[in-house]
Amino acid sequence: MRARTWCAAAVGAFALCGCEDFGQLGSAFCQDNGAAFCANGDGGGADDAGIDAGLDAGFDAGFDAGFDAGFDAGFDAGFDAGSFGPYNYFFVTSGMFLPGGDFVGVDGGDALCRNVASDAGLPGNYLAWLSAESNSVRSRLGAARGWIRPDGRPFVDSFNLDAGIFYPPRVDEHGVDLGIELDGGDIIALTGSYADGNHDGNDDCQGWTSASDAGRVAVGNALYGSITWSETHDGDHCSTPFHLYCLGNDHANALAFTPAVGRKAFVSSVYSMNAGGLTAADEHCRQDAVDAGIFIQVRALLATTAQSAIARFSDAGLPWVRVDGVQIVNTPADLFSYPTHQLAALDTTAKGVHVGPTGIDSVWTGAATLADQATSTSNCNDWTSADAGDTAYLGNANLSNGEAVFWRLADAKCDSSTRPARLYCLEL
C-alpha cells in the first residue's frame, strides 16, 4: 500500500489523524510515532525518501518489524514527535459484558479492555473505566492525560468534575460511532465512577464480582456530555450486561486541537419568562454573547405557535460550532433532521462553561420536535407567561444525539418553580 496522506500537522487530535478514511492501522501508525500521519488508500502526500524506504517494505505486511525499522529512521529524523501528542485512546466497547461473569473485579475489567483493544489493533496499555471501594479508576491512571477517540476526535484532556468533555465517548474500538449506528438508542456503560474517576460510593455490583439480580450498578451514557457520560444514574440490575469504557494510560501529553470553523452556538444563562416573548429571548442570547465578547447575530432556538424552531434559521450556511471549537453537527441539516444527528452535545455557555457540573442543564424548547410549531400550552403562551399555571416543553443540553431528550424531555411550569432552564442560542 504505497499511497497515503499526511494529516494536517502540528497540534491536537484533529491534526493527529485527520484523514477521511481513518483505519485502525493508520491509527496505530500515528499513535506509535507521535506523528500526524495516516494511510487512506489512494491519498497522496508530502512523504520523503526515509518514509518510503520503510513504509513500502513493511506496511502491506501488517505493521511488521520491517515497517517500524524503516519508519522510525526516516520519519523521526525529519519530524519532532515531542512537539505534539501522542495521545491515549478512550472508547466504548462494541460488546456488552456482565460483571461477575464476563469479567470479575476491576482487574478483570482492565484485562478485558486490554483484550478488546488488542483485538482491534489499538496500541498501548488499557484500563476499564470502573471503580470499586479502595480501587478507583483515578488511582490507576497515574500521570496519564490527553485522550482521543479512535476516530481521532478529542475526548478530554483530564478528568475533572468542573470541566466538560469535547466529543462524547460513543465511538467503539473499531472507530464506529455507535451514536449514529444505533440512531438515537442509549449506549449505557458500567462505571461505578464519578466523572473525575473516583468511586461514586454507591453501586458497583459488589466490586464487579456479582451478576445477581438483587445487585445494583451505577452507569453512564456514552451519548451524553459533561458529567453524565459517567454518572447518568444508579440502580440498574447487575444481571444486565452493559458496555464498558476503556482508556489508555501510556501518555501524559496535554490535549490540544484545532477548533472547528462554523457559526457559533451556545446555551444561555438561566432564562426567566417575562412578557417580552420571542424578542426578549433573542435579546437574552445576544446579551450573553456580548458579555462573553462575542459579537454576532444570534437567535434563540424556540418554537412559537406561528413557526417551528428550525424555521428561524437557515440550513444553507456553515454548521454550528460550540465556543470551545467543538463542531455540533456535520451540516446544518443534521440538526434539523429527526432524530437529530449531532456530533457533540450543545452544553457549553457563551463563556465556555459546561452546564453539566452546574446542575442546570434543562433548556426551554416549546414543541414536540424541532420541525413542529408550538401550542399555547407547550411554550408559556408564546413565551410571554411566567404564570405557574402555564407550562412549556424542555430539552436537555447534555445529550449528543437523539431529539427525544435534546429537544423534548419534560414539561415545566413557566414560573421556573419546577426547574430553572436555559435557551439554545444559534448564530444566524
The answer to whether residues 299 and 396 belong to one domain is yes
The answer to whether residues 94 and 78 belong to one domain is no
Whose cell is 441539516? That residue is 333
| Cis amide leading into 123 (omega within 30) | no
The CATH number given to whatever domain includes residue 396 is: 3.10.100.10
Neighbours of 65 (CB within 10 A): 9
Tell me whether residue 253 is in a domain: no
Q: What is the reported pLDDT for 2? A: 27
Q: Hey, what's the cell of 146?
A: 490527553
Q: Hey, what's the cell of 380?
A: 408559556
What does DSSP assign to residue 234?
Answer: E
The answer to whether residues 310 and 408 belong to one domain is yes
Q: Higher-confidence residue: 58 or 121?
A: 121
CA distances from 69 to 33, 53, 57, 250 (A): 12, 10, 10, 21
Dist CA 193 CA 141 (whole Å): 13
Picking from 21, 53, 83, the residue at the C-terminal end of a domain is 83
pLDDT tens for each residue of 138-149:
999 999 999 999
Q: Can you give the residue range of the structural domain that contains 142? A: 88-248
Of the pLDDT bands very low, low, confident and very high (cuts 50, 70, 90), residue 405 is low
Sign for the pseudo-dihedral over CA of 397, 402, 407, 409 = negative
Q: Higher-confidence residue: 418 or 205?
A: 205
Considering only CA atoms, give the Rg of the chain. 23
Q: What is the mean pLDDT of residues 78-96?
A: 71
Dist CA 300 CA 422 (whole Å): 10
Of the pLDDT bands very low, low, confident and very high (cuts 50, 70, 90), residue 251 is very high
Q: Could you tell me which of 293, 310, 325, 274 has the C-alpha nearest to residue 284?
A: 274
Dist CA 54 CA 58 (whole Å): 6
Pairing mode of beta strands 320-322, 263-267: parallel
Q: What is the reported pLDDT for 32? A: 36
Listed range (82-86, 90-94, 166-170, 173-177) with the worst mean pLDDT: 82-86
CA torsion 273→274→277→281, rounded to 10°? -60
Q: State the average pLDDT for the chain.
A: 80
Q: What is the reported pLDDT for 232? A: 81
Neighbours of 275 (CB within 10 A): 10
Element (H, E) at 290: helix 277-291
Listed range (119-123, 171-175, 341-345) with the worst mean pLDDT: 341-345
Q: What is the reported pLDDT for 70? A: 31
Q: Hey, what's the cell of 199?
A: 468511586
Listed range (104-113, 173-182, 363-372, 389-398) with the worst mean pLDDT: 173-182
Q: Higher-confidence residue: 21 or 312?
A: 312
Would the pLDDT of 28 be above 60?
Answer: no
pLDDT tens for each residue of 255-295:
988 899 999 999 999 999 999 999 999 999 999 999 999 99
Element (H, E) at 392: strand 391-396
Percentages (nearest 5) of helix, strand, coil residues in the chain: 25, 20, 55
Dist CA 419 CA 414 (whole Å): 9
Q: Could you tell me which of 167, 218, 214, 226 has the C-alpha nearest to residue 188?
A: 218
Dist CA 348 CA 345 (whole Å): 8
Q: What is the reported pLDDT for 100? A: 92
The answer to whether residues 282 and 212 belong to one domain is no
Q: What is the reported pLDDT for 298? A: 98
Q: What is the mean pLDDT of residues 415-421?
A: 84
The answer to whether residues 329 and 229 belong to one domain is no
Tell me whether residue 258 is in a domain: no
Contact 250, 88 (CB under 8 A): yes
Tell me whether residue 255 is in a domain: no
Q: What is the mean pLDDT of residues 373-387?
A: 93
For the chain, what is the domain count?
3
Of the pLDDT bands very low, low, confident and very high (cuts 50, 70, 90), residue 199 is very high
Q: What is the mean pLDDT of residues 377-393?
A: 94
The answer to whether residues 184 and 283 belong to one domain is no
Burial 221-230 (b: 16+ CB within 10 A, else e): bbbbbbbbbb
Q: Could you tell me which of 283, 279, 297, 310 has the C-alpha nearest to residue 374?
A: 310
The answer to whether residues 230 and 98 belong to one domain is yes
Tell me whether residue 363 is in a domain: yes
What does DSSP assign to residue 66?
Answer: H
Tell me whether residue 256 is in a domain: no
The answer to whether residues 399 and 350 belong to one domain is yes
Of the pLDDT bands very low, low, confident and very high (cuts 50, 70, 90), residue 404 is low
The answer to whether residues 287 and 172 belong to one domain is no
The answer to whether residues 227 and 339 belong to one domain is no
Q: What is the reported pLDDT for 78? A: 25
Share of the chain above pLDDT 90, in %: 58
Give, in degrees to the nearest 5, the angle at Cα 28 between 26 and 32. Answer: 125
Picking from 248, 277, 295, the residue at the C-terminal end of a domain is 248
Picking from 196, 217, 248, the residue at the C-terminal end of a domain is 248
Q: What is the reported pLDDT for 90? A: 98
Contact 206, 215 (CB under 8 A): yes
Dist CA 10 CA 348 (whole Å): 26
Listed range (15-24, 120-129, 212-221, 412-421) with the worst mean pLDDT: 15-24
The answer to whether residues 287 and 214 belong to one domain is no
Would the pLDDT of 315 be above 50?
Answer: yes
Q: What is the reported pLDDT for 183? A: 56
Would the pLDDT of 15 be above 60?
Answer: no
Of the pLDDT bands very low, low, confident and very high (cuts 50, 70, 90), residue 14 is very low
Element (H, E) at 58: helix 49-58
Q: What is the mean pLDDT of residues 173-189?
A: 83
Q: What is the reported pLDDT for 3? A: 29
Of the pLDDT bands very low, low, confident and very high (cuts 50, 70, 90), residue 403 is low
Tell me whether residue 133 is in a domain: yes
Contact 48, 74 (CB under 8 A): yes
Of the pLDDT bands very low, low, confident and very high (cuts 50, 70, 90), residue 310 is very high
Would the pLDDT of 190 be above 90?
Answer: yes
The answer to whether residues 140 and 175 belong to one domain is yes
Contact 370, 336 (CB under 8 A): yes
Would the pLDDT of 227 be above 90?
Answer: no
Tell me whether residue 382 is in a domain: yes
Of the pLDDT bands very low, low, confident and very high (cuts 50, 70, 90), residue 13 is very low
Q: Higher-confidence residue: 417 or 129?
A: 129
